[in-house]
Structure formats: C-alpha cells, structure tokens
C-alpha cells in the first residue's frame, strides 16, 4: 500500500466522529462505584498477559485501578505510533549514510510485498525481516517466533514493519535496501550496528513521552475527555504534567494531570490509558464501513482510581502525591531528547581526549576559578521558574563558566561579588528550533548563539519565570551581543572517563541530562545515590566537578531551581554507575573572551557518517579515514559534519589553544 494512501486513511481515522464508550461503572452516568476488575466482562485483559501493570503512586502497587471505561472508538494502528517515534532516527540514518558500491540487498527482505494478501509472500517477507533484525541486533538477538503484524513502505522506499511474538512482545523495524535503520526496542548498547548509540533507560521499561506533542498522549487526553462527556454530560479542563509509556501487548500510558474545576479548585489524578492490539476482529467495536486502518486500530481503555464523574470533586491521588504534583508545576524540567521520539536530537560524536596520568580525587571549578563563583558559587545559581527551560539554563551556565575560565575572570564580572551571566532569554527567543518553555536541547543553544551571538543577562532579561506559552517566549530576538564574548560551538564527551578528562584538561564545564524521580526533588545534602518514587521527567543541569565523600564518588552539578534546592543550588550525584543517566554524554558549550584562552580542538573517534552496505552491514567512518570529506563540494554532503567532528584532522580555522583578540 502506498504511504500517501496509508497516511490519508490514518488521518481520516483521527477525524472519525466520536462513538459512545462502554463504561463498566454500575451507576448510570458513571458516577457510581464501578465494578471490580475481575467482574468486568468487557474489559481488556490480554494487555496484562506479559506483565502486571502497577498503580503508580498508590500505597498498594499491585492494586489495579478499579474503575474502567472501554471506548468503542479505536485509536490508531500501533505501527503509526512507532513510525512517529522513529521518524527522526530514520531521517538521521538516511542522512548520515553514504551508499557503497557493493550493495547486496537481501532478496528475501521486501516489505513492499508485505501488503499483498498472499501467504507465500508474507512468509518470505517475515523470514527476511527476522533475519535482518537478528543481524542488526547481533549479540542482543533473542530467540523469538516473530509474526508480521503490520507493514508499509513509504515514498522513500523505507520499509516499516511491526512484528508480534506469541508472548505479546512488539518489535518495530524500519529498513532500507536490506539495512535496518531503526529497531524499537533498540540493539544493545555499544553494538557496532548502531550508528548512534542510545542510552539504555535507567528506569527499566518506562519511557517518558512528551506531553505537548506525542500522539499517544494526545489520544489518551482525547479518551479522557470523550469518556467524561459520554458518561457525565460535561467536560473538564486538564493539564498533563508528565506521561510515560510501557509497551507490552499494546501500549499503557500513565499520565499525571491537574484538573481545574469550574469553581477554580485544582485536583490531581493519575489515569491510565491502555491501547491494546485486538486479538481478533470484534464486530461490536467496529463502526459501519470502517477503513482498513480502523480495523487494525488499538482498543482504548481508560482506568482510574475513582469514578470519573467525581474527578472535579476530589483528587484520586494521596495528599503526598498531590503535593509532589503541585511541586512539579513550580520546578519544571525540559530536556527534550529524554522523551521517546526525540532521542535523535542528542546524537553526535564524542571527542577522544588525552589520558590523564594522575587524575585527581577531587576537582571543583568553584575552587579552581574562585573569582568566577562569588559567595562560594551561590551568587551564580539561577531559577528557571515554572518554565521548562532547564536546557537553556544548563547550557548558559556551562558557557558562562567557560567564558569566565577563559580569561580568569576578565570580562566576566560586573563586580567582585557579581558575575555576569549569559542571557537565557536570548537563547530561547533566538533559536531556530522554537525551543523554550516546552523543552529543548543543546541544538537550540547552538542555533541561537550562531544566529545572534552571546548577550548578557542584564541586557536581555529572562521573561518566563511564570511561564510563556509559545515562541518567541516573551520577547522577540532583538538582543545586542557582547562583542567581547565569542561562541565556539559544542563539543561532546561521553561516559565517566570522558567527563572527568573534560574537566581536568580544561576542555570545559558541560551540560548533562538526568532522569528525575521524587528523591531528586527532596535532595538537601550528601551524595544522592538512589532514585526513588515515580519517574517525573528529563532534566538538564551543569556539571562543574567531581569528588569523593564518605567513600562515595560523586559529580558536582549546578541546578536551575534556585538556592533553596540542594546545597545552595548545587548537588552531588553518585558517580561511576550512570546514575539517573548522567554519564550518557555531556555537551561542552564552548566560548572565550577577548584575549582569553580557547578550549583546544580534539577529534572524535568517528566522523559522523557511515558507508553502506554489504548484506545489511554498515561501516562507521573514522576521522582518520575522513580527511577527503573535510572539503565541501557538490559531491560531498558530509563536509559540515566531518569538520565539526574532526576539527584537528580537517585543520579547522582557529583550531588552537589561544584565541585571537577580537576587534573593538
């Protein structure tokens, strides 16, 4: 089936008029007690065959939500959600692969034939898919009896497939010319097949979803509103604070939301939306003249701890959980690549730094450059407020730390007790990505600083402490850059050793991302070494040092939640175990002042692209082999990528240890 037709059908599915939902509540209007789980004959159960889903935040984690409403309207096909989550990775893989001369696509691998209703063709395609997947995953491959559930080929020839095992596992595969571009679940960490290695979620099989854009979250919200309207003859105003996903025999979406009643009362809830792959056609759920995509759509079920019609009268969470959800509105996150579907935004090659023969036990930029951290560092701590702009604050603080270190305080201080700061508002208002209070990443920082330069905070002040709704986030991009501050790009480091070397060798302070649980909110002192409570979001902070306290190794980070958090705005996170995902990678936001030292250049191991393919295999090109690609030409589309990742090999201009003095 052609992708354009498939997409139109899927779009029509989203516009289908709302059908009545079937409530299992025993009282008319859904306001009664609702049936117990084991007495509801129509509720979905196969979603739970592989794993029992827990009630997050409840005192008894094995007590399923008792109030269940099953919708007669199907959600989209499972493959469409996987395609949305994998779109950025597919684009990246296609854009960073150089076709080789020895392409030998597997003749059996042809998803284009998967839509043909012929058993022999389906069997052949299925076998080819499994073989390609096993080759891609290598040592991670599991012995599964996969069946092809859905498949489609898009206009670029990319073949998208969803495999389904008898045990309820789902596996998404996107392939081109016999080469697997994306697998979800992914290959194991560090496997050579992965052009860009991704972090293994530190929270097991829970994955964060972006509440602003994710289509499955949007469908969960629609399911909530639809259920309220059909059972209560009214609707509620809700705001999703966080959402995460579990994939079993379908999808389970857990959301934490605030509900504002008509009288202004704010209440908190944790509904669960289940989207189950139907085991067989169910005529009772299908509308007349359904499209094929509707027939394969997911069965939608809503679960809550209280009758939904009482949701504007009482909270369904404990007072303790409600207080945390209230706190989440005051202390926001905002690191976009920590959400499913946006992982590719953090792709990039990590530099290879020289070994440090005598690595110190402790290192603290506040002590190395005391002039840059007045009042022991307390003066430089900032507060992002209830805007999801941690990404901009973490990057701005890292850049300012590096600017100040560049000149040992020169051109970086308003006075001995007041350090100048990089304008966060400038980063938010001037980036081409539209990043702001609804999250972002280092790419937004890079585009803003390349576009407009570095402005002082006092000249272009932060406008979004109490939230801004949309770009350009409270101010237009009309700043005046400081002519004595110079932006020098982003360099990535990876793992504990890479981050240690970056600090000790003077490569610079860097922004890092972490997965936030409840324990991070309540941190006050010592070394935080346990993540307890539910998964709340993806956050960015600035890494300024490391050390050992009471026998525990730690990272020293600067947060952007004001001085009331942690130790005057700083915290110590256990080091060496990738705690909260902190050691996945760090982004050094490089800068220097007039006449100051410049962070030296260093090549990454790999140049940022690969050659393809012999029987689906790809070869990552190293910087040592990529010198020909340093020069831009009509035959070379990788020049910008290679010069960024291999500046020493490409002899990039001003790739030295000392920066020239800018003209006044």
* Residue 292 in domain: yes
SS3 409: coil
Final residue in a domain of this structure, among 168, 194, 220? 194
- Cβ 432 vs Cβ 400: under 8 Å: no
Residues 396 and 545 both lie in one domain: yes
Residues 572 and 446 both lie in one domain: yes
* Residue 265 in domain: yes
Residues 424 and 470 both lie in one domain: yes
Considering its fold, how many domains does the chain have in total?
Answer: 4
- pTM for this predicted structure: 0.83
- Cβ 541 vs Cβ 390: under 8 Å: yes
Instruction: Give the domain extent around 655.
Output: 622-664
Give the domain CATH number at 522.
3.90.70.10
Residues 424 and 384 both lie in one domain: yes
Distance CA 109, CA 135 (A): 13
361 has pLDDT over 90 = yes
> Which residues are 613's β-sheet partners?
none
Final residue in a domain of this structure, among 169, 194, 219? 194
Residue pLDDT, tens place only, 225-274:
999 999 999 999 999 999 999 997 799 999 999 999 999 999 999 999 99
* Residue 323 in domain: yes
Q: How confident is the model at residue 100 (pLDDT cuts 50, 70, 90)?
A: low
CA 447 to chain centre: 19
SS3 106: coil
Distance CA 151, CA 168 (A): 18
How is residue 201 written in tokens?
């979620």
Residues 366 and 460 both lie in one domain: yes
Cis peptide before 185 (omega within 30 of 0): yes
* Residue 565 in domain: yes
Residues 465 and 530 both lie in one domain: yes
List CB contacts of 640: < 8 A, sequence separation 6 or more: 632
Residues 257 and 366 both lie in one domain: no
* Residue 169 in domain: yes
Residues 589 and 443 both lie in one domain: yes
* Residue 425 in domain: yes
* Residue 417 in domain: yes
Percent of the chain with pLDDT over 70: 77
Mean pLDDT across 501-511: 94
- Cβ 172 vs Cβ 182: under 8 Å: yes
Final residue in a domain of this structure, among 572, 593, 614? 593
SS3 388: strand
Residues 419 and 547 both lie in one domain: yes
Residues 434 and 526 both lie in one domain: yes
* Residue 598 in domain: no
Residues 248 and 115 both lie in one domain: no
How is residue 220 written in tokens?
């969960």
Higher pLDDT, 3 or 566: 566
Write the DSSP assignment of 285-324 as a string of letters: GPPTT--HHHHTBPEEEEEESS-GGGTTTS-SS-HHHHHH
Residues 560 and 631 both lie in one domain: no
Give the least confident one: 2-11, 157-166, 256-265, 559-568: 2-11
């Amino acid at each position: 089936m052609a992708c354009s037709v498939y997409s139109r059908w899927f779009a029509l599915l989203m516009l289908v008029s709302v059908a009545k939902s079937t409530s299992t509540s025993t009282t008319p209007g859904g306001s009664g007690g609702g049936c117990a789980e084991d007495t509801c004959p129509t509720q979905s159960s196969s979603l739970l065959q592989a794993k029992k889903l827990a009630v997050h935040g409840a005192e008894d984690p094995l007590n399923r939500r008792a109030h269940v409403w099953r919708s007669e309207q199907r959600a989209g096909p499972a493959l469409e959600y996987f395609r949305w989550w994998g779109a950025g990775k597919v684009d990246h893989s296609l854009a960073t692969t150089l076709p080789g001369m020895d392409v030998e696509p597997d003749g059996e691998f042809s998803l284009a034939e998967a839509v043909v209703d012929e058993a022999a063709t389906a069997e052949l395609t299925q076998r080819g898919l499994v073989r390609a997947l096993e080759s891609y995953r290598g040592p991670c491959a599991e012995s599964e009896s996969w069946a092809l559930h859905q498949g489609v080929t898009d206009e670029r020839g990319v073949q998208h497939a969803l495999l389904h095992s008898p045990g309820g596992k789902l596996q998404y595969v996107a392939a081109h010319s016999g080469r697997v571009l994306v697998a979800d679940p992914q290959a194991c960490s560090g496997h050579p097949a992965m052009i860009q290695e991704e972090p293994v979620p530190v929270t097991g099989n829970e994955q964060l979803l972006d509440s602003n854009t994710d289509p499955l979250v949007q469908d969960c919200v629609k399911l909530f509103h639809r259920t309220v309207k059909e059972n209560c003859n009214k609707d509620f105003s809700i705001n999703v604070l966080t959402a995460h996903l579990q994939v079993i025999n379908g999808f389970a979406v857990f959301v934490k939301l605030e509900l504002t009643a008509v009288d202004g009362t704010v209440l908190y809830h944790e509904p669960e939306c289940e989207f189950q792959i139907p085991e067989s056609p169910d005529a009772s759920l299908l509308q007349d003249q359904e499209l094929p995509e509707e027939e394969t759509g997911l069965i939608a079920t809503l679960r809550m701890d209280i009758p939904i019609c009482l949701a504007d009268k009482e909270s369904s969470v404990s007072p303790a959980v409600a207080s945390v959800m209230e706190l989440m509105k005051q202390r926001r996150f905002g690191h976009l690549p920590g959400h499913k579907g946006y992982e590719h935004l953090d792709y990039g090659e990590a530099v290879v730094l020289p070994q440090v023969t005598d690595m110190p036990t402790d290192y603290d930029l506040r002590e190395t450059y005391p002039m840059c951290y007045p009042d022991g560092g307390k003066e430089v701590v900032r507060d992002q407020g209830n805007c999801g702009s941690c990404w901009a604050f973490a990057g701005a603080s890292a850049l300012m730390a590096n600017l100040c270190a560049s000149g040992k305080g020169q051109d970086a201080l308003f006075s001995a007790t007041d350090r100048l700061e990089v304008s966060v508002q400038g980063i938010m208002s001037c980036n081409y990505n539209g990043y702001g209070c609804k999250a972002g990443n280092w790419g937004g920082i890079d585009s803003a600083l390349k576009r407009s330069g570095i402005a002082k905070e006092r000249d272009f002040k932060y406008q979004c402490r109490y939230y801004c709704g949309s770009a350009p986030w409270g101010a237009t991009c009309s700043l005046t850059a400081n002519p004595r501050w110079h932006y020098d790009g982003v360099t990535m480091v990876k793992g504990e050793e890479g981050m240690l070397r970056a600090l000790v060798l003077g490569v610079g302070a860097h922004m890092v991302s972490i997965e936030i649980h409840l324990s991070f909110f309540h941190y006050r002192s010592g070394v935080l070494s346990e993540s307890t409570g539910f998964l709340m979001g993806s956050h960015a902070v600035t890494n300024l040092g490391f050390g050992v306290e009471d026998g525990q190794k730690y990272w020293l980070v600067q947060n952007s939640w004001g001085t009331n958090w942690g130790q005057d705005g700083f915290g110590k996170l256990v080091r060496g175990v990738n705690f909260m995902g902190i050691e996945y990678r760090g982004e050094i936001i490089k800068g220097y002042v007039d006449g100051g030292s410049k962070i030296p250049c260093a090549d990454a191991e790999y140049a940022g692209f690969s050659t393809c393919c012999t029987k689906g295999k790809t070869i990552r090109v190293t910087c040592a082999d990529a010198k020909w690609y340093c020069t831009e030409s009509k035959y070379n589309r990788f020049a910008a990528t290679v010069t960024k990742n291999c500046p020493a090999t490409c002899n990039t201009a001003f790739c030295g240890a000392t920066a020239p003095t800018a003209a006044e």
